[in-house]
Every structure is written in C-alpha cells, then in structure tokens.
C-alpha cells in the first residue's frame, strides 16, 4: 500500500512537471479565507503552475462563476452548488470543508425577552433565502414544534441582518461567522446552533471541464490546502497567525478573527457517503420550499480526488 501511494505521488509529480507549468489554476475564494491560510502556512512557495485568485464576498457568485467556466475551482457553502446541481450545471463537488457548527446559529438580542425558540412566536426574524440561515431557522422551529409562519420574516443578507439586530428592527437572526462571534461578543443570546439540526457543509467545487483538463493541478491544490488546514489545527499559535493574516487582508477585527478561527477548527477532507447523505437532506429541504427541484444529490459529486489527500506536498513554515 505504501508503494502504491508513493507511485501515485510520483506519477502526479511527473504529470505536473510535464503539463502544469504552462497552465493557470483559477480559484474562487471568499474574503481571502483560503488564500490567507495557505500563505500563512507557507504551502504556496513552490507552485509548479500559476495560481490566480479571484475574491468574492458570498457563495452564489462563486457558484455562478464556476457554472460559466470563469473559475476552475471555488470554495463555498453547500446551498449554491446544490441549487445549480438541480439545473444540471457543469460542476462537480470534489472535497468537503468541515467546521464547528456552533458558528452557525440563531441569535437574539441581549436585552430581549427571548430565551428559547418557543419565545419566537410573533417576533421578527431576519434570514437569507436559500442559505444556511433559512435552513437552520426553519429546521430548528420544526424541531421545537413552532410553526414557521408564527414569525414575521425579513430577508436580509448576513451583514444587513447583523445591523438590523443591532438596531432593533428585528428580534432574532439566523447567521454564520464572523457575525456569530461578533454578536456573541456584544452579548447576543444563542438560541440554537446548527449542531444536530442541519449539515451546514462547505464544499470545494470544480468546473467539470477543469476536472478533465486540470486534474493534476486541482489535486495538487487540494493537497496544499489540506496541509495548510492541518497546520492551523496543529498549534494554537498557528491558528492565531492565520487569523492575524486574514484580519490584515480584510481589515477585520483581529480578536474576532482569532476567536472565530479557534472555535471553527476548519478542516478539509475527501468525500464520503455521509457527505452525500447530508447534501441530499439539504436538497430535499429546499425542494420542499419549492426553491429547487428534487434530484439525486450524489450525481453532483466526484469522489476521484480522494487520493490527493494522501500524497505529500511542499513543507509549511
């Protein structure tokens, strides 16, 4: 088995040396998250091909860029690619990114009378349609036996929802990081998290043509991203270095970044059957709302990059 892994790594390296140097891998990142961790971990120092980053502030434009072929791979939450999958888009999910699900939560203002999901009847909630926030709020209400229409809903982006909670124009929001950490630091009350309620998965997604034409580069990128994520998990000081690098890139609050990343403990992993089972739950949820048509989610997944997580790559700092 060790020989086979070594042979696979040798073949990958040979493929890269012959074909990759003249090619560019275009990666869609969100707010410098992947770029910051890979630079901090020092895994981009000896790339045998050109890496071009494109930065986005949300998952939907990443998914659309993948759909039209202006990206080779993109990093984003599960809903946008699963929505595109319902339309037969030329994309494939090739890896899964996992994080602590406490970072996806339903929050109430610190000075409100809301202490549980049961207290939400007649209250005003802000969510973003077709996202983790809608899936979390509705699923948590279902689990608590509170009718979905018992709340007044306002559809706001995560940033606008956070401001609305601050200003008092809504009573509760369902959101994700860094807004969860920001609100908690201001005293917001956590009513529920995604843990045990929704999958809240994130994916690495590739354009189907890129899977065919740039397989070696994509596999190499996955190896390096995995190494960077492992580096952050190996030492608290590394996590802080990553948080500091990200905060500097985005001009965000360093302390919030440190608290967020320390809790998130984001990892990268190859696909497994449970990932597809959870993806099907998300497809079925949004199909139940009439936002997409139901389809077999497994059709969107390409498990052939599993070996990329076993081959060695460049050393980190």
Instruction: Give per-residue pLDDT as tens, 243-296.
Output: 999 999 999 999 999 999 999 999 999 999 999 999 999 999 999 999 999 999
Q: Both 156 and 296 in a single domain?
A: no
Three-class SS of residue 32?
Answer: coil
Residue numbers of the domain that contains 156: 105-193
Task: Report pTM.
Answer: 0.89
275 domain residue, yes or no: yes
Q: Both 244 and 304 in a single domain?
A: yes
E strand or H helix at 117: none
- Considering Cα of 147, then 149, then 155, then 161, what sign does the dihedral take? negative
282 domain residue, yes or no: yes
Angle, helices 236-250 vs 33-41, to 10°: value is 130
pLDDT single digits (tens) 129-181 = 999 999 999 999 999 999 999 999 999 999 999 999 999 999 999 999 999 99
Number of domains in the chain: 2
239 domain residue, yes or no: yes
Spell out a b/e string for 91-115, using b for 16 or more CB atoms within 10 Å of the CB, else e. bbbbbbbbbbbbbbbbbbbeeeebe
Domain of residue 49, CATH code: 3.40.190.10
Q: Both 138 and 221 in a single domain?
A: no
């Amino acid at each position: 088995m060790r020989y086979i892994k070594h042979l696979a790594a040798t073949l990958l390296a040979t493929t890269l040396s012959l074909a990759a140097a003249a090619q560019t891998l275009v990666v869609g990142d969100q707010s410098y998250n992947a770029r910051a961790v890979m630079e901090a971990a020092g895994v981009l120092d000896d790339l045998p091909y050109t890496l071009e980053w494109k930065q986005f502030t949300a998952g939907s434009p990443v998914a659309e860029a993948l759909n039209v072929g202006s990206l080779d791979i993109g990093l984003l939450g599960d809903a946008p690619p699963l929505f595109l999958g319902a339309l037969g888009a030329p994309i494939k999910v090739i890896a899964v990114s996992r994080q602590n699900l406490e970072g996806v939560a339903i929050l109430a203002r610190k000075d409100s009378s809301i202490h549980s999901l049961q207290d939400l009847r007649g209250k005003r909630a802000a969510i973003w349609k077709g996202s983790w926030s809608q899936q979390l709020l509705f699923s948590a209400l279902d689990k608590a036996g509170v009718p979905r229409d018992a709340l007044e809903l306002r559809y706001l982006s995560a940033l606008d929802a956070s401001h609305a909670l601050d200003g008092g124009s809504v009573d509760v929001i369902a959101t994700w990081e860094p807004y969860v950490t920001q609100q908690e630091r201001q005293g917001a009350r956590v009513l529920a998290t995604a843990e045990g309620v929704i999958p809240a998965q994130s994916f690495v997604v590739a354009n189907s043509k890129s899977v065919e034409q740039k397989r070696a580069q994509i596999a190499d990128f996955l190896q390096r991203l995995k190494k960077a994520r492992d580096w952050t998990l190996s030492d608290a000081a590394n996590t802080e270095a990553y948080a500091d690098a990200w905060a500097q890139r985005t001009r965000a609050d360093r302390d919030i970044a440190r608290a967020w990343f320390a809790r998130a403990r984001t990892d990268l992993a190859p696909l497994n059957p449970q990932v597809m089972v959870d993806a099907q739950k998300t497809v079925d949820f949004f199909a139940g709302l009439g936002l997409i048509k139901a389809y077999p989610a497994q059709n969107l997944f390409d498990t052939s990059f599993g070996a990329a997580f076993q081959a060695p790559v460049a050393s980190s700092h």
